Structure 1
Amino acid sequence: MLTLVDSTSGTVVGHADGEDVVLDVATVGSGPTLLMLHGVEGREADSAFVDAVAERFTVVAPSHPGFGLSPRPDWCDTVEDLAYLYLDWIERQDLRDVVLVGLQFGGWLAAEMAVRDCSRLGRLVLVDPVGIKVGGREDRDIADVFAMPRGELDARNHADPAAGPGDLTLAPVETTEHIARNEEALALYGWEPYLHNPRLRRWLPRIHVPTLVVWGAQDGIVSPGYGRAYADAVPGARFEIVDAAGHRAQVEQPDTVATLVADHTA
């Protein structure tokens, strides 16, 4: 059993399978609870988006185990583990009508949570999520981010490559270590099968809360067609394209995406 309690340092601490579970959590804003699940770049990359949604919501933004400052217990090595961890957290904090927002990798995680249990969710927002198989067996739905040169990755992630981290050889050591740790965690959770659960798409019809799928028009990692297929698999889901945005739509167009979230929850 996993128990999570707020600590005086602002982290969330728990115990499961004989190991402590510690999540680095940032909480900002006021209003209904919005749980934000970050992508591979980590919570810090989404600061402008967080500030925008915090005008209407209490934003709870954890770093997933293995990302940022959150250590990863040995038992936590699949997206399913993460999904159950956060569902347990929501239940033990007695949160209700939670607005669950998943960004890229975090969108996959949010979808895995929602197909398991929607009872404490009020709305679901997925921004450029990965996680499902759309094409045939030999078709690559998701660009191989692990094999891609950094410059190409920035170009595919952003409509404007200048929005990316740039030349990491010029970055502080702390920045490159942070990026390397996050990418190592992504590889652990998403190496095989590559950034998807072969069974997830068939279970998306279990999601029975109002759902919004947001996609960057210039997403070079996963095409808007993939996003439309994602939305079509969720009953009643709405699909919105954001112009001048790549895979990280909330980074390049934080105010636009925040407005879509607010309108979806109105």
Structure 2
Amino acid sequence: MKHHFLHIGDVELEWHEMGEGAPVLYLHGGHGFFPDDDAFATQLAKTRRVIVPSHPGFGRSSLPEWLDCVTDIAHVHLALLDYLELDQVDVVGSSIGGWIAAEMGTMAPDRFGRIVLAAPVGIKVGPVDRLDVPDIFAMSQEQVARIYYHDDGKFRFDPSAHSDETLATILRNRETLTLLTWEPYMHNPKLRHRLRRLRAPTLVLRGSSDGFVSADYADAFARLISNASVETIEAAGHYLAEERPDIFAARVDAFLAQTRTKKILWRNVG
């Protein structure tokens, strides 16, 4: 795993890359990205060049005062693609990372070959007086774990198992997540109206035991995208990359590989 920093205006962006092959942008969820512990990225890097930015305010990326919403982060990550001279790339986004990926896809629809949204948030589909996803900021960590994981016993947070530096990063990630998603809660009111611009083939994935993003919510998200399908991974919760990294990586790789196969066939015919 190679570790880099890039200045984009006044944002100091931390980003990582590993593997070789066709590039894929991986956008992490609200927990942040910890390179030494991310089995999904390691698995995907066996066949792809995986590029993983830490969103502003997460990891070691800076968070200037003006940056206060997911849409701002989408612009920062598009600037990263400019720096890397990637005119077209596949993208995988998990949870809030799926929200960021969707925002990016509406801003620059021709820039993305295929998109995987893993338990994405970011839109409002239900009544205005009811939350579409549970309020995690009003829950204890034990309650959050129960809605996040199929087997929450394996993922109970133990502070003594982490260094002081890692604990500080975890707390900073939570603080940034709160800032970005508190009001309006976990959505951009405009995004649902913009999703029709997203043209890339899109796969919405969800764990069967996800208590945060419901099946109805995932279906509603996919219906707003013209070329989207929905699939479920069994015995998994919200964070597929943590709970079922091998199965998640295999499904993502198979979906993304369809584009490469079509391109090869097209070249052979031409």
Q: Is the structural similarity TM-score above 0.5?
A: yes
TM-score, reference length from structure 2: 0.89
The ranges of structure 1 where at least 4 consecutive aligned residues each deviate by more than 4 angstroms after the TM superposition are: none
Q: SS of the counterpart of 1:247?
A: coil
Q: Is structure 2 residue 237 aligned with structure 1 residue 246?
A: yes
The residue that corresponds to 2:209 in the other structure is 218
Q: In terms of mean alpha carbon deviation, does 165-174 or 187-196 score higher?
A: 165-174
Structure 1 position 78, deviation (Å): 1.3
Contact 1:133–1:141 (CA under 8 A) maintained in structure 2:
yes
Flag the 1:114–1:142 CA change in 2: closer, same or farther, 3 A: same
TM-score, reference length from structure 1: 0.91
Q: In terms of mean alpha carbon deviation, does 200-209 or 39-48 score higher?
A: 39-48
CA distance in structure 1 between the partners assigned to 2:126 and 2:154 by the alignment: 30
Contact 1:39–1:103 (CA under 8 A) maintained in structure 2:
yes
Flag the 1:238–1:65 CA change in 2: closer, same or farther, 3 A: same
The residue that corresponds to 2:45 in the other structure is 54
1:130-183 deviation per Cα after TM superposition (whole angstroms, max 9, x unaligned): 100111111211111111101011111100003324233665433332221001
2:30 aligns with one of 36, 40, 49: 40
The residue that corresponds to 2:79 in the other structure is 88
2:93 aligns with one of 89, 92, 102: 102
The residue that corresponds to 1:256 in the other structure is 247
Unaligned runs of 5+ in 2: 258-270
Flag the structure with higher helix content. 2
CA distance in structure 2 between the partners assigned to 1:60 and 1:44 by the alignment: 13
Q: Is structure 2 residue 171 aligned with structure 1 residue 196?
A: no
Structure 1 position 221, deviation (Å): 1.2
Q: Identity rate of aligned residues, in percent? A: 40
Unaligned runs of 5+ in 1: 1-8
Letter in 1 for 2:14: D
1:12 aligns with one of 5, 8, 18: 5
CA distance in structure 2 between the partners assigned to 1:174 and 1:12 by the alignment: 18
1:237 aligns with one of 216, 228, 231: 228
Where in structure 2 are the equivalents of 1:100-249 lying within 5 Å?
Answer: 100-168=91-159, 171-249=162-240
Structure 1 position 12, deviation (Å): 3.0
Indicate the RMSD between aligned Cα atoms, in angstroms: 1.7
